[in-house]
């Protein structure tokens, strides 16, 4: 099967509804099972030698932070699909992903604060990592507010897509804020900002810095919450397709009523 035929198949909302209707219960069930397993492994893992029991927060905070960023990448990718390829489901995908990404970003901020108080002695500092993730959350809110403020659906979709693509710069900024960026062959050297937030412990060029007894539960939790994200996203897309069908039927009904009124003989 070629890529084009997969794209064409999924471009049909009716086919998407039928396919997603069959997949969704299994995806949601698998997500819950993997999350339960991951959390069980996390809660039975040994406490950290520095953080103690507070490491349990990491098993939900880190996946939330990853998914907050992945959600925005999905919104931006879908927006690109709308503006460049005019894929019929691209805007449906972007619209459905925004509230889910916002929820995970909010969870990353809250659980990060609740971890920060006992570990750093403060709930919040205005450093580059925390502030850039807060900006990501506001960007999500901005996308949703912009869309809901414009009644004309096509215009709202296009303007929201443009804002989503402009805002994608936040993603490398979040990453660079703690670790900096060095690309010697480009002569690019961006130093890390002064921050309380620790650099990445999992995705590193020299391998993960976490002990396997804590790394595997974290990866199971990340996988489980990622599956949950896609299950929620699929449900959101199905709802949006139904909402658009309802709107189309209402418009058609009004048009027919007007046409009938115009055709009726004047009394």
Partner 1 sequence: MDLGPHADFILASYAVYAVVLAALAAWLLYDGVHQKRLLDVLEARGATRRSRAGRAEKNTKP
Report if residue 248 touches partner 1, rule: CB under 8 A: yes
Contacts of 65 (CB under 8 A, 6+ apart): 104, 105, 108, 112, 133
147 is a site residue for partner 1 (CB under 8 A): no
Strand partners, 190: 181
- In the complex with partner 1, the residue whose CB is nearer, 118 or 191, is 118
Query: Do residues 150 and 159 make contact, with C-beta atoms less than 8 angstroms apart?
Result: yes
* b/e code 71-87 from CB counts within 10 Å (16+ = b): bbebbbbbbbbbbeeeb
Q: How far apart are CA 57 and CA 43, in angstroms?
A: 10
Q: Given the complex with partner 1, which of 168 and 238 has the nearer CB atom?
A: 238
Exposure class string for 115-146: b at 16+ Cβ within 10 A, else e: bbeebeeeeeeeebbbbbbebbbebbebbeee
Tokens (6 digits) for 28: 């949601």
Rule CB under 8 A: choose which of 38, 81, 224, 236 binds partner 1. 236
Within the chain, strands assigned E span 181-183, 188-190
Contacting partner 1 within 50-89 (CB under 8 A) = 52-54, 56-57, 60-61, 64
15 lies in the binding site for partner 1 (CB under 8 A): no
Residue 129 or 238 with smaller CB distance to partner 1: 238
Binding piece for partner 1, criterion CB under 8 A, among 80-88, 182-190, 203-211, 247-255: 247-255
Structure tokens at 223: 């996988």
Q: Would you give the DSSP letter of residue 81?
A: I
Shortest Å distance, C-beta 242 to partner 1 = 4
Q: Is 110 in the site for partner 1 (CB under 8 A)?
A: yes
Binding to partner 1 by CB under 8 A, coded x per residue (else -) over 27-46, reads ----------------x---
Angle at 63 between CA 58 and CA 69, to 5 degrees: 130
94 binds partner 1 (CB under 8 A): no
- For partner 1, the closer of residues 43 and 166 by Cβ is 43
- The verdict on 246 binding partner 1 (CB under 8 A) reads yes
Is the CB of residue 218 less than 8 Å from the CB of residue 201?
no
Q: 158 vs 235, which CB is nearer to partner 1?
A: 235
In whole angstroms, the minimum distance from the beta carbon of 245 to partner 1 comes to 6
Judged by beta carbon, residue 94 or residue 228, the one nearer partner 1 is 228
Quick one: which of 16, 66, 72, 115 contacts partner 1 (CB under 8 A)?
115
Tokens of 118: 């006992």
Task: List 181's β-bridge partners, or say none.
Answer: 190
| Interface contacts to partner 1, rule CB under 8 A | 43, 47, 52-54, 56-57, 60-61, 64, 99-100, 103, 106-107, 110-111, 114-115, 117-118, 228, 232, 235-236, 238-239, 242-243, 245-246, 248-250, 252-253, 255-256
């Amino acid at each position: 099967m070629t890529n084009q035929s997969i794209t064409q198949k999924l471009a049909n909302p009716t086919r998407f509804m039928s396919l997603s209707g069959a997949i969704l219960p299994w995806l949601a069930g698998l997500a819950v099972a993997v999350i339960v397993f991951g959390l069980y492994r996390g809660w039975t893992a040994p406490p950290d030698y520095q953080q103690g029991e507070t490491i349990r927060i990491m098993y939900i905070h880190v996946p939330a932070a990853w998914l907050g960023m992945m959600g925005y990448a999905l919104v931006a990718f879908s927006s690109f699909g709308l503006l460049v390829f005019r894929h019929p489901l691209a805007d449906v995908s972007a619209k459905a992903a925004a509230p889910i990404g916002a929820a995970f970003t909010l969870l990353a901020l809250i659980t990060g604060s609740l971890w920060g108080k006992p570990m750093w002695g403060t709930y919040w500092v205005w450093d580059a990592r925390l502030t850039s993730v807060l900006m990501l959350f506001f960007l999500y809110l901005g996308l949703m507010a912009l869309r809901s403020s414009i009644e004309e659906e096509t215009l709202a979709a296009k303007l929201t897509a443009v804002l989503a693509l402009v805002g994608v710069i936040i993603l490398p900024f979040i990453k660079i804020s703690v670790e900096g960026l060095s690309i010697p062959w480009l002569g690019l050297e961006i130093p890390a900002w002064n921050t309380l937030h620790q650099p990445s412990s999992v995705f590193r060029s020299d391998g993960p810095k976490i002990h396997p007894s804590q790394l595997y539960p974290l990866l199971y939790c990340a996988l489980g919450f990622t599956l949950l994200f896609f299950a929620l996203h699929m449900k959101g897309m199905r709802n949006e397709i139904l909402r658009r069908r309802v709107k189309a039927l209402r418009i058609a009904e009004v048009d027919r009523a007007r046409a009938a009124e115009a055709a009726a003989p004047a009394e």
